[in-house]
Amino acid sequence: MNKKIILFDFGGTLDTNGIHWSEYFRDLYKKFGIKVRYENYRKAFIESDRILSSNVRKDMTYKETLKEQLRLQFEYLNRNSKIKKSFTPVLIEKMIDSCYACVNGTISYTREILKSFQGDFKLGVISNFYGNLTVVLAEFDLKNVFDSVIDSAVFGITKPDERIFKAAITEMRGTPESAVMIGDSYGQDIVPAKTLGLSTVWLDGRSWTRPGDTSKADFIIHSIKELPLLVSKHFLN
């Protein structure tokens, strides 16, 4: 009997346990006493995310990627006189060290959960990323966990395009009906996966917006730690 497939989003799901990176960086600003109006911060985050895809090299680590995004945010805020703060290299390094430590803490238990699924399921990751996802997975000792890794920058298509989900399922020789999608983005992960015929698990954490209709989510969890029980109850043969 073919194993069922579990597909995961990466950013905001496996690395931050449902906290959107906009919220993660905002928490970091507060932790280090950096005051900026929310609407200005939001613009800085959007701008940094837009530029980041062009700035990330394929060999860049996760930590280097975070550092570049934070630098781009500060550059935007200073350029537009939205903040009065001297962002020294030392301060930026301290902020990224703090952020990276939190991510490591999250991935330490997501890694164990993923490894516990390996014997019973085929595992895949589908992420709107920057071309360096395989480097990042190796950085966190996750590279050998997945049977399929699809980085949107490499694949040339981003979620919510259904073709990116089809590609992962095809690579693992499965069908949509045999697959489950788990992600924090209702619009990018859950809606297209459900439309395609996958089962869906929405990691409902902290995001920018909340959907008015959550009917595309077959299951809703609030922490990745809830997954083992849910999976054993509903998806094991």
- The 10s digit of each residue's pLDDT in 101-148 is 999 999 999 999 999 999 999 999 999 999 999 999 999 999 999 999
Only one residue has tokens 């996966």, namely 193
Examine the domain organization and report whether 189 and 211 are in the same domain.
yes
Examine the domain organization and report whether 13 and 94 are in the same domain.
no
Spatial CA neighbour of 66 closest among 49, 87, 84: 49
> Among the three residues 103, 128, 145, which one is the final residue of a domain in this structure?
103
> Among the three residues 73, 103, 133, which one is the final residue of a domain in this structure?
103
Examine the domain organization and report whether 98 and 140 are in the same domain.
no
Q: How far apart are CA 199 and CA 195, in angstroms?
A: 10
pLDDT digits (tens, 9 = 90+) for 6-50: 999 999 999 999 999 999 999 999 999 998 999 999 999 999 999
Examine the domain organization and report whether 230 and 114 are in the same domain.
yes
Examine the domain organization and report whether 220 and 115 are in the same domain.
yes
Examine the domain organization and report whether 96 and 120 are in the same domain.
no
Examine the domain organization and report whether 56 and 157 are in the same domain.
no
The pLDDT assigned to 84 comes to 65
Examine the domain organization and report whether 151 and 186 are in the same domain.
yes
**CA distances in angstroms from 75 to 20, 39, 69, 83, 166, listed in the order given:** 21, 16, 10, 10, 38
Examine the domain organization and report whether 163 and 144 are in the same domain.
yes
Q: What are the residues facing 122 on neighbouring strands?
A: 5
pLDDT digits (tens, 9 = 90+) for 43-96: 999 999 999 999 999 999 999 999 999 999 999 998 887 776 667 788 899 999
Examine the domain organization and report whether 91 and 161 are in the same domain.
no
Examine the domain organization and report whether 112 and 13 are in the same domain.
yes
Q: Which domain holds residue 86?
A: 21-103
Examine the domain organization and report whether 94 and 111 are in the same domain.
no
| Residue 101 CB burial class (10 angstroms; 0-12, 13-18, ≥19) | exposed
The domain tally of the chain equals 2
Question: 114: domain CATH number?
Answer: 3.40.50.1000
> Among the three residues 71, 103, 135, which one is the final residue of a domain in this structure?
103
